């Protein structure tokens, strides 16, 4: 595999991807010891097809890359109990769980039980139908429903957040959708898992949003157009904002578009974080 350009220009931390003879995708001279106190997880949606085929082998491969935690998006071809065992065998902890709106509405007690089984402190609603973002009242109603769900989680010792895509940064009745939603909820009941790429695509610099909504953000999705650094996100600004606000508990890598096989792409993302001193 030919070398590619340095992914992002951060002082002293540029690197280029090496050949296939280096399985971690990073040269020994450019690797650094982690300087970051925020742990890094991988959102397993990044490897969704592989998880559906063989969850156990996939999470083992994730651990071999160097990730020490995952964020779940279902359990692939296993049930919750067997998925927990597979993660334990791989030495991975669960940073959080993405759970669809349908389950949150009708099966909340089971979701709480699953979160306890995995030892997950965070449950996240991964999306909302954008067709429902029609007015201030509609957006506030969504925020109120999420607040109610979050209150149930909080009573059970679990933090609840909403994961954004680009439409939440669109403007409805003079304000961004995400602002109507968050302001209709209690900070203790609803956080925001900020996806930095989708915020950028939605027209808001993620670093600005991190500063604006510091009390809501405990989880940050690190994502770019493809591998980290190959798109529009200004990661130095993101990391600076996170450091400034404090309180972020996890960086979570997520990949949805790929230049290579998905497992190699998430390996490259981890190598980039290593080069930045963040993993």
pLDDT tens readout for residues 178-203: 999 999 999 999 999 999 999 999 99
Place of tokens 């201030």: 136
Does some domain include residue 62?
yes
Does some domain include residue 224?
yes
> Residues with Cβ < 8 Å from 106, sequence gap 6 or more?
none
**CA neighbor of 57 nearest in space, from 87, 81, 80, 84:** 87
pTM here is 0.88
Contact 83, 60 (CB under 8 A): no
Does some domain include residue 223?
yes
Contact 209, 233 (CB under 8 A): no
Does some domain include residue 53?
yes
Can you say how many angstroms the Cα of residue 122 is from the centroid of all Cα atoms in its chain? 11
Contact 237, 207 (CB under 8 A): yes
Does some domain include residue 218?
yes
Please state the domain count of the chain: 1
Does some domain include residue 231?
yes
* Domain encompassing residue 47: 40-131+157-170+187-275
Does some domain include residue 232?
yes
Contact 82, 118 (CB under 8 A): no
Does some domain include residue 180?
no
What CATH number has the domain bearing residue 204? 3.20.20.150
Model pLDDT, residue 257: 94
For 107-165, the pLDDT digits (tens) are 999 999 999 999 999 999 999 999 999 999 999 999 999 999 999 999 999 999 999 99
């Amino acid at each position: 595999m030919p070398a590619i350009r340095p992914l992002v220009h951060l002082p002293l931390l540029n690197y280029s991807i090496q050949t296939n003879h280096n399985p971690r995708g990073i040269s020994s001279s450019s690797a650094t010891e982690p300087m970051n106190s925020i742990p890094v997880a991988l959102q397993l949606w990044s490897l969704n097809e592989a998880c559906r085929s063989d969850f156990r082998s996939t999470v083992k491969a994730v651990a071999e890359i160097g990730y020490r935690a995952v964020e779940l998006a279902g359990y692939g071809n296993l049930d919750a109990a067997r998925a927990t065992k597979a993660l334990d065998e791989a030495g991975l902890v669960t940073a959080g769980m993405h759970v669809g709106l349908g389950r949150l509405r009708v099966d909340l007690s089971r979701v709480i039980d699953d979160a306890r089984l995995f030892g997950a402190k965070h449950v996240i609603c991964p999306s909302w139908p954008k067709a429902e973002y029609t007015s201030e009242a509609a957006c506030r109603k969504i925020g109120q429903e999420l607040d109610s769900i979050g209150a149930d989680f909080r009573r059970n010792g679990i933090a609840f957040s909403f994961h954004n895509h680009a439409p939440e940064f669109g403007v409805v009745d003079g304000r961004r959708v995400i602002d109507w939603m968050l302001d209709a909820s209690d900070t203790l009941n609803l956080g925001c898992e900020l996806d930095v790429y989708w915020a950028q695509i939605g027209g808001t610099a993620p670093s600005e949003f991190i500063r604006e909504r510091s009390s809501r953000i405990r989880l940050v999705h690190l994502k770019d157009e493809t591998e980290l650094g190959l798109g529009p996100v200004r990661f130095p600004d993101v990391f600076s904002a996170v450091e400034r606000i404090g309180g972020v508990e996890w960086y979570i890598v997520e990949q949805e578009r790929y230049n290579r096989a998905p497992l190699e792409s998430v390996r490259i993302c981890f190598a980039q974080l290593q080069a930045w001193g963040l993993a």
